[in-house]
Amino acid sequence: MMNDEQLLRYSRHILLPGLDVDGQQALLDSKVLIVGMGGLGCPAALYLAASGVGELHLADDDTVELSNLQRQIAHGQADIGRAKAESVADSIKAINSDTTLLVLNERLSGNALSAEVAAVDVVVDASDNFATRFALNEACALARRPLISGAAIRGEAQLSVFDFRRDDSPCYRCLYHEADDATLNCSESGVLAPIVGMMGSMQALETIKCIAGIGQPLVGRVLLIDGMSMELRQLNLRRDPECSVCRLRG
Domain range summary for the chain, segments of one domain joined by +: 4-249
Q: At 137, is the pLDDT very low, low, confident or very high (cuts 50, 70, 90)?
A: very high
Q: What angle do CA 31, 32, 36 make, to 5 degrees?
A: 150
Query: How much of the chain is in helix, strand and coil states, percent to nearest 5?
Result: 45, 20, 35
- State yes or no: pLDDT of 250 exceeds 80: no
Full strand arrangement of the beta sheet holding 221-226: 100-104, 55-59, 31-35, 122-125, 147-153, 156-162, 221-226, 231-236
Q: What is the Cα–Cα distance from 45 to 159, expressed in whole angstroms? A: 16
Nearest to 22 by CA among 52, 48, 49: 52
- Tell me, what amino acid is at 171? C
- State yes or no: pLDDT of 187 exceeds 90: no
Percent of the chain with pLDDT over 70: 96
- The yes/no answer on whether domain 4-249 falls in CATH 3.40.50.720 is yes
Q: How many residues comprise the chain?
A: 250
Residue 182 has a pLDDT of 53
Q: At 180, is the pLDDT very low, low, confident or very high (cuts 50, 70, 90)?
A: low
Q: Residue 55 to residues 27, 30, 45, 99: CA-CA distances in angstroms? A: 9, 6, 11, 6
Whether this model's pTM surpasses 0.85: yes
- State yes or no: pLDDT of 202 exceeds 90: yes
Residues 95-112: what's their mean pLDDT? Answer: 97
